[in-house]
Amino acid sequence: MLPNKKIIDELKKLAIKAKNNNEVPISAIIAKKNKIFFSAYNTCHKTNNPLNHAEMIVINHALKETKQKFLNEFDIYSSLEPCALCASAISFCRIKRIFFCAYDKKFGSIINGAKIFKIKNAMYKPKIFGGIEEKFFSQILKDFFKNKR
Amino acid sequence: MLPNKKIIDELKKLAIKAKNNNEVPISAIIAKKNKIFFSAYNTCHKTNNPLNHAEMIVINHALKETKQKFLNEFDIYSSLEPCALCASAISFCRIKRIFFCAYDKKFGSIINGAKIFKIKNAMYKPKIFGGIEEKFFSQILKDFFKNKR
């Protein structure tokens, strides 16, 4: 299963846009049948809201737009391994597949940390594809934090 | 450290109200210096949104009202052990203390499941008080699901 190249390219553009707007360069896209439904980058800084992760923004948008309780026809793409908040939201919404790029040892909760989908009695488990274009998406984050110091 | 009795009584009223409105009887209160700031019960059914957990509603409200990025002067009370979504939100918002009532073997992520605050490299860890009036809050849930079958 290959991730959709157009969507990954869009994730890149969004991460760069985030950086240029002084936001941590993390982006997410929710897609249906390989077509972008909604895209966003994290706005925690601008909105002063620590829950406005890119994934949460696209999920909340899709829930609102579709009025569906379950987003089981949707895939989510994220530039960074989702944290426990976003991974849980993905699970509660029954999103079909997760494609993520850079790994995150600090907050990541799929391969790292809470490993949300490996928990016994856990909720719905999507298919997971990680490490897509790792180099680009980890480098943009490293550069961002380096310039912040 | 004793949980505030008035707040627990309010949690009970809210859980009953939820049940009467055909929502899973789970309630939450965000409080500052032992005073209720905002209270809610889960509205997943009514709003057709699987992320409208009681805790998420009160946290989002407090973020919006205070315009603060960190809710570190606030405590959260929940009628049920928070799930991984809510526990992560509590952590990202740096809420001071969690008081919760019934334990939740299925989705609970504090004592059970993902054990969000026991993860290495986890984020901010609040003080945690669990099992408050366990009997009342687990019984109302059991009765609710029994009547649903």
Query: Residue B24: which CATH number?
Result: 3.40.140.10
Tokens of A53: 């992760």
Amino acid letter, residue A1: M
Nearest to B51 among A87, A92, A122 (CB): A92
Between B2 and A74, the more confident residue is A74
Around Cβ B148, how many Cβ atoms within 10 Å? 8
Q: Is the dihedral of CA B115, B25, B37, B2 positive or negative?
A: negative
pLDDT of residue A148: 81
Tokens of A16: 């760069």
Which helix (H) or strand (E) segment holds residue A97: the answer is strand A97-102
Q: Does B113 touch chain A (CB under 8 A)?
A: yes
Minimal Cα distance from A65: which residue of B? B49
* CB pairs A-B closer than 8 Å: 88
Return d(Cα A66, Cα B138) in angstroms, integer: 34
Tens of pLDDT, residues A39-65: 999 999 999 999 999 999 999 999 999
Classify residue B115 by burial, with Cβ atoms within 10 Å: 0-12, 13-18, 19+. middle
* Count of structural domains within chain A: 1
Q: Could you tell me which residues are beta bridge partners of residue B18?
A: none
Q: What percent of chain A has pLDDT over 70?
A: 98
The pTM of the whole model exceeds 0.80: yes
Q: Which of these, B125, B122, B119, lies nearest to B90 by C-alpha position?
A: B125
Which residues in chain A have their CB less than 8 angstroms from residue B48's CB?
Answer: 67-69
ipTM of the shown complex: 0.95
Minimal Cα distance from A121: which residue of B? B106
Tens of pLDDT, residues B31-76: 999 999 999 999 999 999 999 999 999 999 999 999 999 999 999 9
**Domain residue limits at B32:** 5-147
The pLDDT-based confidence of B1 (bands split at 50, 70, 90) is: low
Return d(Cα B17, Cα B26) in angstroms, integer: 10
Is A73 a catalytic site residue?
A: no
